[in-house]
Amino acid sequence: SEVDNEFEQVFSAKANGIHTVTKYRSKSTGLEIVHAEIEGPVVNGYIVLATRAEDDDGLPHTLEHLIFLGSEEYPYKGILDVLANKCLASGTNAWTVTYFPKLDSILDVDHTCYTLSTAGSEGFCTFLPIYMDHIFYPLLTDSAFKTEVYHTTGEGTDGGVVYSEIQALENTSSDKTNTELTRTIYPPESGYHYQTGGVLKNLRETCNNVKVKDFHNKFYNPRNTSIIICGMVEPTKLFRSLDPVIKKLVERGVIDGWTKPWLEDVPEISAPVVKNIKFPSDDEDEALVTIGFRGPSAIKEFDQVAAMRLLFEYLTDSSVGPVQQDFVETDDSLASSVEYSEMENSRTTFYFEFEGVDLGGIDKIPEQLKATLEKQVENFDMERMTDVIKKNIQEELSSMENSPHNSIAYAVIGDFLYGNDEQDMFEKRISGTLTIKGFLSRPKEFWVGLIQEGILNQKWVIINATPSKKYQKTLAEEEENRVKGRHEILGKPGLMKLAVELKEAMEDNAREVPESFMEKISVPCTKSICYHKITRYQNPDWAADFKANLYVDDINSNFVYVSVLLDTTSLSKEHKKYLQVFREYITESPILDDDGTLISYEDVIASMNRELLSCGMDLGIDGGGRFRCGSFPHILSLGLQIELDKIEQGMDWIRKILWKTQWKGDRIKVVANKMAGDVPQLKRKGSRMCHAIIRDLLFKPDSNVKVSSLVRQHGFLKDLISSLPKSDKKVQQAFDAIRALITDPNNTVVHISTSLAKLNAKLADSPTKDFATLLKKSFPFAEDAPISKRLANEPDISFMVPANEMKSNPIGKILGLGAEDSAYLSQAVPCLTSYDDPDFAPLITTLQYFAQSEGPFWRGIRGGGFAYDYYCSATANEGVLYFTLSRCSDIAGAYKIALDIIQSHLSGETVLSEELLTSAKSSLIFEYIETEKTPLGLSSNSLTAYYRNLPGNYTRLLIDKISEVKLGELLPITEKYLKPLFLDNYACAVVCPSDKVSAVTEGLTALGRKLTIMPSLANSFLAKWD
C-alpha cells in the first residue's frame, strides 16, 4: 500500500540477542522510526529531537512545557493529556535533561524527549498522530507562556510552572556543582555550556515567547526527529497511524538538508581548573567535591567510552572499589560516599563526586585520588576487573528483562544523536554485551594505560562546593529586595495590572474543550492486551518439610529472585535502633567460613559480586533504603538476584549472610560513619524532610519507621561511633538479638520468583539435584525448631498512632530550611483500612479524577503556576489518605486552590464531567497495568498480594471495579473522604525556605491549617526518642 511504501526499512538488529529492533525512515520527510519488539502489556513511545541551547534562557525546556498546551488541530490547553488518558495512558511527559541529571547515571544536554506509555497498542496508535501534531504544530500562545513558564504575580512575587521547577533545583549543592562543572569543561561555542532548563535570572529577564517560537522553527522538523516505540505494535498499523502526520508535513514543506547539531569537535580544555563555590545551607558541616575531565568521543571512540565506564565501575563500585577503600572504608574517612557519573556528549566527560567531605579535608581529596590511581597503575587487580566485566554482562542481560523499554530506548537515542546509520554501530549501541565481552581479553596493560592516559594525564576540573549560611541570607535578601523594588516601581496600579493580566491568561488557558473534540477518541478495548503469565505456589508439596513459610512464583525469567522476609516485631525498642546500621553492615561484613577461617569483608564482597547480581537488605517488603521503611515496616527483607548458572553458589549466600557474618566493632564503625556522613545533605532536602516529619507524626515511638528516621538515627550513629570500640560488647549483643530473631523459621517468609522449568533443568545436572534440597541447605534452621508457616503480615496501621488519639490531638509542624528555595506540604487524615472495602475503587477513581493530568488540581495548581507537583493517595495498609504539594513557589496559593476546588464541587458550583471520569478511569487502569509490565513487576505484585491477604489476580479484579465506577459515586466519596482531608486538622507537615516560615504559617493558618514552628532539627521532636 501507499502508506507501507512511505516507510523503508533501514536495518534490523537484535538487542543483546533478545529483542528485535528495526529502524525505518520516511522517504518523503526523513522522519525516523525505531521499533523494539518487547513482549508485555505496555507500549512505550519516546519522541526524540536533537536540541541545542546557545544561552541560559532555557528554551529547550520552556518549549517542552508549551508543547503540551494545544496544537493547530487540537487548539485547547490540556486536551493532549486528557486524550492520552482516554487511550489507556497516564498523561504524557518529557525531559530536557540538564536539570534531570541522572538518567541512567548519564547527564545530557543534547536532546528533548517526549514520552508516552499505553496499555496495549490500540491506544498508542490512536494517540500518536495527536501527539505529533502538538510537537510539530504547537500553538505557543503568550497566555500559555505567562502561566506555564514565568509571570510576576499581583503581589510582586515570581511564578510559573517552569520557574517553580527551576527554583527548587538551582541552588542545591548538586545542581550548582553540575552547572559549574559543565560550564568549565565545555566552552560556550560547544553548546554543552548552557543550562537547557534555564536559570532563574534569565527566566525573569530575557526568556520570552518570541525566542521560544524561533527555537521551535529551528529544531522541530522531521529530519531531526526519531520516534522510538518499545512494545508489541504491528508496524503496518503504526505506519497507518502516522499517515496524516506525513501528509501534513509534506503539504507544509520539509527542509531538504539538515545537519545534526552535535557532530562537530569540541575545543580542548587549555589547563586544569580549581573552583570554589558556595551553596545555601542552615549548617556549615560538609562539602561536596567533584573532580571531572574530558573522556573519549561518543562519535568516534565508542569502545573507549565503554572501557572508561568499566574502569570507573572497577574504581568505585561497592565497598571494595579502590577509590571507595581509600576514601570511605577507613576509620579516618575523607568522604561519606563516592560515586562516578558521565556526560555522554559528543565528547564525553567523566567525573567523581565525593559527598560528606569535612571542610578541613577538601584539599586532601585530589591528592588522595592521584595517590590511589597511581597505586592502581602499580598494582592493578585483574581478577577484580574480570569480575566487574562479567557482572556488567549479566546486568546488561538483566536490563533486557527488567527494564527493556528504557534500556533500549536510551541506547537508540545515543545512536540517533551521534550515529551515522551504520548497522554494526547501531547493534553495538543496543547490545552492550557485544562490546563488554570484548574487554575480557584485554590485558592488564590496557587498563593501566587507560588510568594513566584517560584519567591521570587529563586536565582535571575540580569544583569544591561548601555550605554557607551567609550565602543563604544573601539569596533571601535578594529576593526580598526584588519584590520590594517591584512594589516601589510599579505601585498599586502596576501590580493590579499584573494581577489582571495573569487572571486573563489563566482564563484564556482554561477555555472549555468542546465535547466534539473529546468524543473523537473512544477508550480502547483491554481484551487484546498481552499480559505476562505467572503461576503461584504457596508452600508447595515438594517443599512440605521446609520449616518456614514459602511462596514460589513461576515466571518467564533467566534469573532467580529471592526475598527473605524477616519479622522484627518482637525486638526491643533499644535493639530496633540498631536495625538501620545492621541492614547496611550485614551485606558487607566479615564471615566465618565452615572450617573456622575468618574471611575479610573485602574478600566477602569480592565473592558476593562474583556470585550474585544484586544483594541488599531493607526495612519493608518493597524497598526502604537508608533511614526509610517501605510498607510492612516491621519486615527486614533480604533481596538477592542470582544467575541461573550460579544458583547453588548464589543461594548459599543466604546462609552466609544470615548465619555466618561476624560482628567486628571497627567495621561497624566504618559503616556507621558512612551513614552519618550522608545525613547533612539529606537534611537540606525539603521533600525528604517533609516526608520524615509526616511519618514521624503518624507512627508510634517504638515502630521501625520512627526509630529509623534520619535525624534520630544521626544522633544515635554519632554516639555509636564515639563509643566504639568500648561499646563493642553492647553492639554485639544487639546484633546477636537481631540474628536470633531472623534465623527463627517462625519469623521467616521466603519468596522466590523464577522459571521453574529452567531452574529444575539447571539443578538436574548438579549434585543438589532438586530445589527443595538446596532450600534446606540455604536455611540451616535449628533442628529442633518446629515447622512454621506463619505470615507476619500485620498492616502498617498496627504500628501507627491510633486514629482517635490523633483526632483528639491533631499536630501540624512547619520547618524552615535555608538550603530550600521551594515549599513542600504533606497532610493526612484517617481513611479506609482494607483494599477489599467497597469504597476503595470509587475512592482511588475520585482521587484520580481530581489529580489526573489536566484534571481540576492540575489546571488549578500546576496550570496556575503555584506549584510544580502535587499528589493524592489512599493507603489502605496505613488507613491514611494523603495530599502532598511539592516544589511550590506559592504554597498557600496552591493549597487554597485545592481547597476551593473540593468545596466548589461539593457545593454544586462546579459540575463533575463524564469525559474527565472516563479519562480518570482509563489512566488509573493504565497505572495498575504498568506495574505488571515485566515478569518481575508481576511477581512483586504477587508478593504484596500475599501480605495484604488478597488474591493473586487482585490487579485485574481491581481494574474491573474501576471500570464500573459511575459519576454519581464521586460526590458522596468526595464528601466522605476528601472534605475531611482539607477541612479537618489531623497530621500536617510543611517545609519551606527559612525566610518564609512566618508568611507561610500565616497563609496556611488562614486556610485552617494549625501549624507549630519547629526549632532547629537537633532540638526538635525528630531528634527525641520518646
Residue-wise pLDDT for 199-212, tens only, equals 999 999 999 999 99
pLDDT of residue 101: 24
In this structure, which amino acid lies at residue 152? T
Residue-wise pLDDT for 131-172, tens only, equals 999 999 999 999 999 999 999 999 999 999 899 889 988 999
Residue-wise pLDDT for 981-995, tens only, equals 999 999 999 999 999
pLDDT > 70 fraction of the chain, expressed in percent and rounded:
98
Q: Both 771 and 824 in a single domain?
A: no
In the predicted model, what is the mean pLDDT of residues 472-492?
94
Confidence check: pLDDT of 96 > 80: no
Residue of 337, 332, 364 whose CA lies nearest to 666 = 332
Mean pLDDT, all residues of the chain = 93
3-state secondary structure 314-372: HHHCCCCCHHHHHHCCCCCCCCCEEEEEEECCCEEEEEEEEEEEEHHHCCHHHHHHHHH
Q: Residue 474 falls within a domain, yes or no? A: no
Q: Both 305 and 418 in a single domain?
A: yes
In the predicted model, what is the mean pLDDT of residues 841-862?
94
3-state secondary structure 626-649: CCCCCCCCCEEEEEEEEEHHHHHH
Q: Which of 794, 816, 851 is the last residue in one of the domains?
A: 794
Q: Which has more confidence, 98 or 772?
A: 772
User: Domain span at residue 456?
Assistant: 273-466
Residue-wise pLDDT for 555-589, tens only, equals 999 999 999 999 999 999 999 999 999 999 999 99
Question: What is the C-alpha separation between 531 and 934, in angstroms, rounded?
Answer: 9
pLDDT of residue 103: 23
Q: Both 772 and 644 in a single domain?
A: yes
Q: Residue 596 falls within a domain, yes or no? A: yes
Q: 987 with 809: CB under 8 angstroms?
A: no
The CATH code of the domain that includes 611 is 3.30.830.10
Q: Both 719 and 814 in a single domain?
A: no
Q: Both 812 and 789 in a single domain?
A: no
Cis status, amide bond into 856, omega within 30 of 0: no
Confidence check: pLDDT of 683 > 90: yes
pLDDT of residue 523: 79
Q: Residue 394 falls within a domain, yes or no? A: yes
Residue-wise pLDDT for 222-244, tens only, equals 999 999 999 999 999 999 999 99
Q: Which three cell numbers stand for residue 355?
A: 559527598
Question: What is the C-alpha separation between 493 and 506, in angstroms, rounded?
Answer: 20
- Residue 511 — very low, low, confident or very high, per pLDDT cuts 50/70/90? confident
Q: Residue 375 falls within a domain, yes or no? A: yes
In the predicted model, what is the mean pLDDT of residues 616-629?
93
- Residue 91 — very low, low, confident or very high, per pLDDT cuts 50/70/90? low
Question: What is the C-alpha separation between 466 and 276, in angstroms, rounded?
Answer: 8
pLDDT of residue 322: 97
Q: Residue 485 falls within a domain, yes or no? A: no
In the predicted model, what is the mean pLDDT of residues 873-900?
96
pLDDT of residue 725: 84
Lowest mean pLDDT among 162-171, 531-540, 823-832, 946-955: 162-171
Q: Residue 7 falls within a domain, yes or no? A: no
In the predicted model, what is the mean pLDDT of residues 816-821?
92
pLDDT of residue 525: 76
pLDDT of residue 816: 96
Confidence check: pLDDT of 106 > 50: no
Total domain count, the chain: 3
Q: Which of 446, 466, 486 is the last residue in one of the domains?
A: 466
Q: Both 868 and 720 in a single domain?
A: no
Q: Both 790 and 850 in a single domain?
A: no
Q: Both 787 and 892 in a single domain?
A: no
Q: Residue 225 falls within a domain, yes or no? A: no
Question: What is the C-alpha separation between 795 and 774, in angstroms, rounded?
Answer: 32
Q: Both 775 and 807 in a single domain?
A: no
Q: Both 595 and 716 in a single domain?
A: yes
Q: Residue 573 falls within a domain, yes or no? A: yes
Confidence check: pLDDT of 744 > 60: yes
Q: Both 751 and 640 in a single domain?
A: yes
pLDDT of residue 92: 58
* Residue 470 CB partners (closer than 8 Å, separation 6+): 278
Q: Which of 451, 466, 481 is the last residue in one of the domains?
A: 466
**Most confident range, picked from 137-141, 262-266, 521-525, 759-763:** 137-141
pLDDT of residue 458: 98
In the predicted model, what is the mean pLDDT of residues 271-278?
97
In the predicted model, what is the mean pLDDT of residues 28-52?
95
Rounded alpha-carbon distances, angstroms, from residue 944 to 23, 781, 956: 39, 25, 14
How are the residues of the chain apportioned to helix, strand and coil, as percentages rounded to the nearest 5? 50, 20, 30
pLDDT of residue 766: 75
What one-character DSSP code corresponds to residue 153?
-
Lowest mean pLDDT among 521-525, 612-616, 950-954: 521-525
Q: 33 with 226: CB under 8 angstroms?
A: yes
In the predicted model, what is the mean pLDDT of residues 910-936?
92
Q: Which residues pair with 827 in a beta bridge?
A: 883, 988
Confidence check: pLDDT of 839 > 80: yes
pLDDT of residue 513: 82
Confidence check: pLDDT of 197 > 60: yes
Q: Both 1002 and 898 in a single domain?
A: yes
pLDDT of residue 99: 27
